[in-house]
Amino acid sequence: MKKRIYWLSLALVAGQAGHAFAQGATDALRYSRLQFGGPARTQGIGGANVAVGADFGNLTSNPAGLGLFQKSEVHLSPGLGLGESTARMEGNSAAAQNDTKNSFHIGSAGVVLANRRPDDDQSTNWRGGAFALGFTRLADFNTSFRYGGTLNDRTIGNLALTGDDQSYLASLRRTVGFDGYGQENIDNLRSQAADGEYYSLNALAYGAYLSRIVKDPRTGKDIGIASTTRSGPIQQAETSYAKGSASQFDLGYGASYRDRLYLGIGVGLVSSNYTSVKTFTERESDPNTHLSEYTLREELKTSGTGINARIGAIYRATDALRIGASIQTPTFTWLTDDYNAVFTTTFTAQGNDVVATSLPTGPVGVKSLDQTFAPYAYTLTTPFRANGGLAYTVGKHGFVSGDVEYVGYGQARLHNNANDANGSDYPFTAENSDIQALYKNTVNLRFGAEGRFDIFRVRLGYARYGDPYKADTNNERAQNFYTGGFGLRQNNFFLDLAGVYTTFNQDYTAYDLGGLEPLVKINQSRFTTSVTAGLTF
């Protein structure tokens, strides 16, 4: 059976920390928390197009909108993303640190083939329809942050803590029978170190002399795991960046019934690619300790494919008012993780602490222990989604629109993929319980408007995607999108430009000490601009 891997970091976890499986609640949220996608017109109105219709973005939001197309069209939408972050260890005197992450992407591309009956053809109430095929980027994983600070002595409640008590190595200290360090697992540590083949990050730390097995001096029996101890202030720093996206290839059809009711159906094939690289360092300069510093570098690459379907309807209540609704099935996704970890340690010959029996003649100098873990395959079912919207047209002068979207983030589920050569029969019971405990049902709001001035278009929009966490932080982790754009319609050619400014906050912890670990506050913003060029025919 394939071994599942543990690692140090929890990617952008809010209100939750701990040594996590490579597959956990964080993964479920990453692939469930989508953004509005589509061409620049959709972006400019904040994605609020569920009831608008005749917009290529309807292919991923409400395929009934395809039924409002009067002409066929083809388009391409390249884009540029500019990201910035500020991160700071809470309660630490060190200054906040800034970082940037930019990217180029194709936001949308596709073709709509419309077919409408002439007005004098009254042979059927079905007046026309449109078939659409296209590509849409629905999630942007490009982020980065860095932070640094000092772990000083402090008191939490009645606990007097040294900097070492709050460090990552403190999380390696265990007692036999607790937290996965029973005798069987201790024997596995020895076996992995002897073979030089590791399937646990804690075992990798053991191989790098950052922890050792402690024996009872009287009986000679194993009594626990001890990590290297340090004294004095400990300097801690981490850099992290992620890249990738989730995109959807869609096939959809929308039809018009008496130009009053519009119905649509679509199928989506999802492609996800995510890469995360984290470099975590702790150092101190006390001459009485052998370990002066160590660095853990982790790289995770996740690729996956998935499938979903959606249906929708738009009803023209009056000539000006349209009411829209759509539902999307959960997305069933096959994922594979590739993970690599490198511990680099620097030991000195000076010191009076005990790190391993071979010191001080053992691991003196810079040592590096590198392990590439076997790929691991699993599956994820993301939540069901439901959308409702209203659109009001102001003659030929434009429209205003508003959408509401329901997403039950706590409904996401991880499953094993035992049929894959890189899978296992692991049940994911604990991880799915974490998903239910951490996440809640959320409402996303989108609002947009378009003004028409002869051949020109002006657009504004705003969207607020709710905080998916149950822990109350006054909605600090909600996402806000501020959008705007311009358009040009000339004969059979159209050109649209849109900008989307996004802000979101996150709480991050690099390891779990039951609340004693440092908390990092991260403020992120991202500006994405898209240009859509297209032809109608």
Asked whether residue 393 falls in the same domain as residue 450, the answer is yes
**Rounded distance between C-alpha atoms, residue 457 and residue 448, angstroms:** 13
pLDDT at residue 174 in the model: 63
**Rounded distance between C-alpha atoms, residue 288 and residue 293, angstroms:** 13
**Rounded distance between C-alpha atoms, residue 365 and residue 345, angstroms:** 8
**Rounded distance between C-alpha atoms, residue 200 and residue 190, angstroms:** 12
Last residue of a domain, one of 169, 203, 229: 229
Buried-state track 491-529, b at ≥16 Cβ within 10 A, e below 16:
eeebbbbbbbebebbbbbbbbbbeebbbbbbbbbebebb
Asked whether residue 26 falls in the same domain as residue 159, the answer is no
Name 177's Cβ contacts closer than 8 Å, sequence gap at least 6.
none
Asked whether residue 212 falls in the same domain as residue 279, the answer is no
How far from the centroid of its chain's Cα atoms is residue 389's Cα? 26
pTM of the model: 0.89
Give the range of the structural domain holding residue 198, as residue numbers without chain letter: 148-229
Asked whether residue 291 falls in the same domain as residue 210, the answer is no
Residue 406 belongs to a domain: yes
Residue 240 belongs to a domain: no
Asked whether residue 427 falls in the same domain as residue 460, the answer is yes
Residue 386 belongs to a domain: yes
Last residue of a domain, one of 181, 198, 229: 229
CATH number, residue 19: 2.40.160.60
pLDDT at residue 380 in the model: 98
Asked whether residue 288 falls in the same domain as residue 195, the answer is no
> Which segments of the chain have a pLDDT < 50?
1-3, 5-21, 177-179, 356-361
Question: DSSP 3-state assignment of 125?
Answer: coil
Residue 235 belongs to a domain: no
Asked whether residue 377 falls in the same domain as residue 447, the answer is yes
- 73: nearest Cα among 496, 530, 453, 529: 496
Question: DSSP 3-state assignment of 435?
Answer: helix
**Rounded distance between C-alpha atoms, residue 465 and residue 447, angstroms:** 12
Asked whether residue 223 falls in the same domain as residue 290, the answer is no
Q: What is the CA radius of gyration of the chain?
A: 27
Last residue of a domain, one of 198, 229, 260: 229
Residue 242 belongs to a domain: no
Bridge partners for 503 per DSSP: 480, 525
Cis amide linkage into residue 39, ω under 30° from 0: no
Residue 88 belongs to a domain: no
pLDDT at residue 13 in the model: 35
pLDDT, tens digit (0-9, with 9 covering 90-100), for 365-385: 788 889 888 899 999 999 999
Residue 341 belongs to a domain: yes
- 486: nearest Cα among 56, 41, 37: 41
- 485: nearest Cα among 440, 433, 444, 532: 532
> What letter does residue 84 receive in the DSSP assignment?
E
Asked whether residue 32 falls in the same domain as residue 156, the answer is no
The CA-based diameter of the chain, rounded to the nearest angstrom, is 100
Name 358's Cβ contacts closer than 8 Å, sequence gap at least 6.
none
Q: Contact, 355 vs 291, CB < 8 A?
A: yes
Q: Give the length of the chain.
A: 537
pLDDT at residue 356 in the model: 47
pLDDT at residue 357 in the model: 46
Residue 160, Ramachandran bin (φ over 0: left; ψ between -120 and 50: alpha; else beta): beta
- Tally: H helices and E strands in the chain: 6, 26
Bridge partners for 131 per DSSP: 113, 253
Asked whether residue 12 falls in the same domain as residue 51, the answer is yes
- 293: nearest Cα among 228, 373, 202: 228
**Rounded distance between C-alpha atoms, residue 190 and residue 9, angstroms:** 24
Asked whether residue 190 falls in the same domain as residue 309, the answer is no
Question: How many domains does one find in the chain?
Answer: 2
Residue 224 belongs to a domain: yes
Asked whether residue 224 falls in the same domain as residue 256, the answer is no
